[in-house]
Amino acid sequence: MAAALDINALHQRHLLGHTSLVIRTPHWSDTTFSAMPCLLLFTVLLQIESLRFGVIKIRSTSDVSKLNWQRYIKCQHKMLSISLLKKFFSLPDLFFSRRVLKTPFNSLLNSMEYKSNCPPSRVVIIGAGFAGLAAATTLVKHGFKDLVILEALERAGGRVWTHKPFGTAALELGATWIHGQKDNPLYSMAKQHGLLAEEGFNMVSCQPVTVTPEDYFFTEHGKTLPTEQVEQVTGFFGRLMSKINEQDINLDCGSWSVGEYLDKEFTKTNFSDIEVSKGVYEWCKRAECVDEACNSMYEFSLSQLSLYTALEGPFFNCLGSGGYQALLNILLEQLPPNSLRCQKPVQCIHWEGLPVDSSNVSVYPVKVHCEDGEEFPATHVIVTVSLGCLKHQASSFFDPPLPRGKMEAISRLGFGTVAKIFLEFSEPFWPENCAGIQLVWDCGPESPEGYAYCKSGEFWRSEWYKKIGGFDCVPMHRSTLCGWITGLAAEHMETLPEREVGDVCVSLLKRFTGWPVTELRGVLRSTWHSNPYIRGSYTNVPVGVDAIKEQTALQEPLPSTHQKKNIRPLQVLFAGEATNTNFYTTTHGAYLSGVREAERILKLYETKASPRL
């Protein structure tokens, strides 16, 4: 017996977007319809809900056994809250109604299918890094199915790239560690799925350019430096950096660079005149450039360094043999089929910056035009491309152009390059307890004099290798070392043949250590700056820049919230590590920014709170 009840005919003026709520019920028997008190109560409650959701129909299904009682939300223009209905039908007085129906009311309520006669929301996400995947999976969990992710590269991951060139264990060409544990969604995900490095794993060898007793420091003349002498300088440097991060510094120094402040404090020590100590101090600054993705500590803002929030727990958390790709796979498995489109670079995003009227109404206010000519219409577009990519093409990437404040934010924030050079040898030539081989120059680019010379530009081409801080042992790769290099020197390194880079590194190892270096079998280096869809590694804050102001401007959606109300909201949204004021430079910062923008869209479609009975 089929039944269809339209109980909203008297409330057409209350319809929200001409929506309708369809409830598929099990087969209704004659005895069920005789239970009018139950049906009346149900109808009254649905009538209350109809003031918010529009036309409500009750339909029957003849074959109860084949029903799959699930709730589907096919339109995200209005979010359906079923909690009130579930609470209502859990009352003991209504046990009679649950017994009359051939299927429990909880199953009935979970079978609600929310439909709409208006165009559904379509979301296009540009970029399949952690920000884009976090946005996509968050929306999918809340019922959004009509979405597509456009990725310019041939793979997902963005600046996360797990590679296996020298065996079965992973090498990370991009992000390597999960930073912090408490409230870190990626750490929680990795722990839940057993993706972290095994207990007892050598965590010391995980940590880049971090001084341990297992680090060997050499001068360019082949002299090994005593651990006590090294730790005297590195300990002092570490305490200074802690003071900066905790804002325990003279406020009069607020307009200084980090390098200027460090030099001022270093000259006060009783070891600042010792040449070897100077060399170790310059090494510390070179190592810090890796953390901050900057060309020099003389270019990084002292007052802004403390804005980064370090989560509780160890700073360097290592993943197991699957690397970051294992985490990416968890997110990729949650996407709707065929929603990820790789090798699909975007050319321009056309959005509507004008108030909506009868002459410019369209189903989708945004159109994403790809380089191959294909277009993707959208209700919302979430842009997760890197800040480096925006710096190179923001002026032509948006039509109409971005507001002045956003363009200025893109220009003012820094985006540096951190590169890795992996060297695979036939056999390890370093001691078994070695965590890394660190290089101390007599005169490197980190001193005030050296930096002044380097700014001329010629240094980065002729002596680029002096920006290599050292070569660290790589976990799970017994015969592999990883060199770190930053800034303009890293950018120049990317232009050289890979084998030439390897030969230069081998020459450095022979010169500094004096050890018999074994055969170099393989070289793999990152090329993040050369990649036209990345253009660098991660964000930094130059001297004179207000990071919070610029990052807030960068994350503001289009059209601006200050524009007229009749402009359709949230047409273009922005995510990515550069937009995260607390956790910029990190994968969890990127992930959380994607969640933030997805929740911004979800909030737009939230309905008012359900009325109390």
Q: Summarize pLDDT for 249-290 with one digit per residue, the tens.
A: 765 666 899 999 999 999 999 999 999 999 999 999 999 999
CA–CA dist 428, 230 (Å, integer): 24
To the nearest whole percent, how much of the chain has pLDDT over 70? 74
CA–CA dist 174, 161 (Å, integer): 5
The answer to which of 89-93, 174-178, 474-478 has the lowest mean pLDDT is 89-93
Closest to 351 in 3D by CA, of 552, 559, 120, 151: 559
3-state secondary structure of 360: coil
Task: Please indicate, yes or no, whether residues 480 and 551 belong to a single structural domain of this protein.
Answer: no
Task: Please indicate, yes or no, whether residues 302 and 423 belong to a single structural domain of this protein.
Answer: yes
Six token digits for residue 575 = 């995510």
pLDDT for 135 equals 99
| Residue 177 resides in a domain | no
Beta strands at 418-425 and 414-416: parallel, antiparallel or unpaired: unpaired
Task: Please indicate, yes or no, whether residues 286 and 428 belong to a single structural domain of this protein.
Answer: yes
Encode pLDDT of 568-585 as tens digits: 899 999 999 999 999 999
CA–CA dist 64, 567 (Å, integer): 47
pLDDT for 482 equals 98
Helix (H) or strand (E) holding 405: helix 404-412
Closest to 302 in 3D by CA, of 263, 266, 264, 260: 260
Closest to 287 in 3D by CA, of 228, 207, 171: 207
pLDDT for 362 equals 65
Closest to 220 in 3D by CA, of 510, 459, 456: 510
Largest CA distance in the chain: 98
Task: Please indicate, yes or no, whether residues 287 and 338 belong to a single structural domain of this protein.
Answer: no
Percent helix, strand and coil across the chain, each to the nearest 5: 35, 20, 45
Indicate if the pLDDT at residue 161 is higher than 70: yes
Is 148:364 a contact under the CB 8 Å cutoff? no
| Residue 38 resides in a domain | yes
- Which amino acid is present at 497? P
CA–CA dist 185, 4 (Å, integer): 46
What is the number of structural domains in the chain? 3
Encode pLDDT of 554-563 as tens digits: 999 999 866 6
Mean pLDDT to the nearest integer, 444-453? 83
pLDDT for 445 equals 87
Encode pLDDT of 56-106 as tens digits: 333 333 333 333 333 333 333 333 344 444 444 444 333 333 333 333 444
| Residue 192 resides in a domain | no
Six token digits for residue 451 = 């930096």
| Residue 98 resides in a domain | yes
Task: Please indicate, yes or no, whether residues 578 and 549 belong to a single structural domain of this protein.
Answer: yes
Task: Please indicate, yes or no, whether residues 37 and 152 belong to a single structural domain of this protein.
Answer: no
Task: Please indicate, yes or no, whether residues 401 and 449 belong to a single structural domain of this protein.
Answer: no
Is 38:95 a contact under the CB 8 Å cutoff? no
CATH number for 479 = 3.90.660.10
Task: Please indicate, yes or no, whether residues 437 and 368 belong to a single structural domain of this protein.
Answer: no
> What number of other Cβ atoms are within 10 A of residue 59's Cβ?
14
| Residue 612 resides in a domain | no
242 or 35, greater pLDDT: 242
CA–CA dist 367, 150 (Å, integer): 13
Tally the residues of the chain. 613
CA–CA dist 90, 105 (Å, integer): 8
The answer to which of 75-89, 260-274, 346-360, 471-485 has the lowest mean pLDDT is 75-89
Q: What is the DSSP string of 409-431?
A: HHHHSEEE-EEEEEEEESS--S-
153 or 108, greater pLDDT: 153
Mean pLDDT to the nearest integer, 217-240? 96
CA distances from 535 to 267, 388, 487 (A): 37, 5, 12
CA–CA dist 356, 336 (Å, integer): 32
- Among 465, 498, 525, residue at a domain's last position: 525
Q: Which domain holds residue 221?
A: 204-313+418-525
Beta strands at 366-370 and 346-350: parallel, antiparallel or unpaired: antiparallel
| Residue 190 resides in a domain | no
Six token digits for residue 435 = 């965590």
| Residue 513 resides in a domain | yes
Mean pLDDT to the nearest integer, 176-180? 96
CA–CA dist 189, 495 (Å, integer): 37
Strand partners, 171: 163
Q: What is the pTM of this model?
A: 0.80
State the distance between the two ends of the chain, measured CA to CA, in whole angstroms.
Answer: 32
CA–CA dist 308, 92 (Å, integer): 53
- The confidence band for 120, taking pLDDT boundaries of 50, 70 and 90, is low
pLDDT for 20 equals 36
Mean pLDDT of the chain: 81
- Among 85, 116, 147, residue at a domain's last position: 116
Is 450:444 a contact under the CB 8 Å cutoff? yes
Is 82:607 a contact under the CB 8 Å cutoff? no
Task: Please indicate, yes or no, whether residues 48 and 101 belong to a single structural domain of this protein.
Answer: yes
Task: Please indicate, yes or no, whether residues 396 and 448 belong to a single structural domain of this protein.
Answer: no
CA–CA dist 305, 352 (Å, integer): 37
Task: Please indicate, yes or no, whether residues 230 and 348 belong to a single structural domain of this protein.
Answer: no
Beta strands at 55-60 and 19-25: parallel, antiparallel or unpaired: parallel
- The confidence band for 435, taking pLDDT boundaries of 50, 70 and 90, is very high
- Which amino acid is present at 448? P
To the nearest whole percent, how much of the chain has pLDDT over 90? 65
Closest to 368 in 3D by CA, of 139, 74, 575, 122: 122
- Among 474, 496, 525, residue at a domain's last position: 525
Is 287:236 a contact under the CB 8 Å cutoff? no
| Residue 279 resides in a domain | yes
The answer to which of 66-80, 234-248, 339-353, 533-547 has the lowest mean pLDDT is 66-80
pLDDT for 2 equals 37
CATH number for 384 = 3.50.50.60
CA–CA dist 296, 385 (Å, integer): 25
- The confidence band for 451, taking pLDDT boundaries of 50, 70 and 90, is confident
CA–CA dist 170, 161 (Å, integer): 10
Task: Please indicate, yes or no, whether residues 449 and 520 belong to a single structural domain of this protein.
Answer: yes
CA–CA dist 97, 496 (Å, integer): 77
